[in-house]
């Protein structure tokens, strides 16, 4: 069953602006991951945050996790046209760490 | 070197045919997966193997049969193809547990079109 729900479904911004995407989930998790998918391509792992972590940074990416609210956010700072892609959150559940994906946010960064 | 490679990249076939998609990873990961992405971009897990052993088997028609000859390969065979099987199928691999931070590595996908 679907776990993560991203919000918004689509986001259009200008180059240089920040982009924030949110994800909510329903059950307990081992960790939460964010992936990027360029049109017609496979998914690329961006960042993983463990259930006992609250914030993580990687380059221009900042991820927060609030397990009490079962939500996460992905912030991309100083966006570039090359950041245009769909972004998915995925929650890892159980011993098998099955990754359950949300529907994704389609981000368009206009030059 | 491609880390997770799938073949073929495109597959167009008629209803009722049987087809296979192959996947290989050279990352030394012990776990491999098949995901299906529908036309609305929704990704759903189908199967997972850990060291050649099936560990995840979601509610998938039994026309779909995965096979893992060794931990570097996971193939997907589909019998009696139906129009609704048209989708992009992604193979992925990972090291368990993933808390080390690496996540899954995905292949570039196989776009299956059933006509």
A44 contacts in B (CB within 8 Å)? Answer: 106
Query: Does A97 contact B108 at a Cβ distance shorter than 8 Å?
Result: no
pLDDT, tens digit, 9 for 90 and up, residues A19-65: 999 999 998 888 999 999 999 899 999 999 999 999 999 999 999 99
Instruction: Please say if the pLDDT value at position A1 is more than 50.
Output: no
Least confident window among B36-50, B57-71, B93-107: B93-107
Minimum-distance CB partner of A92 among B35, B41, B98: B98
pLDDT greater than 70 at residue B91: yes
**C-beta separation of B47 from B55 below 8 A:** no
pLDDT at B106 over 80: yes
A48 touching chain B per CB within 8 A: yes
DSSP states along chain A: ----EEE-SEEEEETTS-EEEEEE--S--SEEEEEEE-TTS-EEEEEEEETT--EEEETTEEEEEETTTTEEEEEE-S--GGG-EEEEEEEEETTTTEEEE---EEEEEE-
Give the pLDDT mean for B40-62. 89
B40 contacts on A by Cβ (under 8 Å): 103
- β-bridge pairing A10-14 and A105-110: parallel
Q: Mean pLDDT over residues B92-107, rounded?
A: 80
Compute the average pLDDT of residues B39-60.
89
Look at residue A3 in the predicted model and tell me its pLDDT: 60
User: How much is the pLDDT for B99?
Assistant: 52
Question: What pLDDT score was predicted for residue B60?
Answer: 85
Return the pLDDT at A98: 81
> For residue B98, what pLDDT is reported?
62
Structure tokens of A40?
Answer: 């017609």
What mean pLDDT is predicted for residues A8-28?
94
Query: What pLDDT is stored for residue B104 in this prediction?
Result: 92
Which of B44, B100, B103 to mutate to probe the A interface, most A CBs <10 Å?
B103
Sort strands B4-7 and B19-25 into parallel, antiparallel or unpaired. Answer: antiparallel
| Cβ contact, residue pair B103, A35, below 8 Å | yes
B7 touches chain A (CB under 8 A): no
Percent of chain B, pLDDT > 70? 95
């Amino acid at each position: 069953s679907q776990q993560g729900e991203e919000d918004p479904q689509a986001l259009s911004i200008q180059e240089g602006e920040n982009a924030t995407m949110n994800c909510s989930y329903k059950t307990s998790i081992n960790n939460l991951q964010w992936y990027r998918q360029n049109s017609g391509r496979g998914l690329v792992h961006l960042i993983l945050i463990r259930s006992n972590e609250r914030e993580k940074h990687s380059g221009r990416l900042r991820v927060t996790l609030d397990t009490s609210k079962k939500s996460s956010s992905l912030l991309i700072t100083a966006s570039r046209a090359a950041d245009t892609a769909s972004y998915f959150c995925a929650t890892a559940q159980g011993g098998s760490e099955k990754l359950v994906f949300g529907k994704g946010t389609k981000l368009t960064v206009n030059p | 070197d491609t880390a997770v490679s799938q073949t073929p990249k495109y597959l167009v076939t008629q209803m009722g045919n049987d087809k296979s998609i192959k996947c290989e990873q050279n990352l030394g990961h012990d776990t491999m997966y098949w995901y299906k992405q529908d036309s609305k971009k929704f990704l759903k897990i189908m199967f997972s193997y850990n060291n050649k052993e099936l560990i995840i088997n979601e509610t998938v028609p039994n026309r779909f049969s995965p096979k893992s000859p060794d931990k570097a390969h996971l193939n997907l065979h589909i019998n009696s193809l139906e129009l609704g099987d048209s989708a992009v199928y992604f193979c992925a691999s990972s090291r368990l547990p993933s808390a080390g931070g690496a996540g899954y590595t995905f292949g570039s996908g196989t776009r299956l079109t059933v006509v």
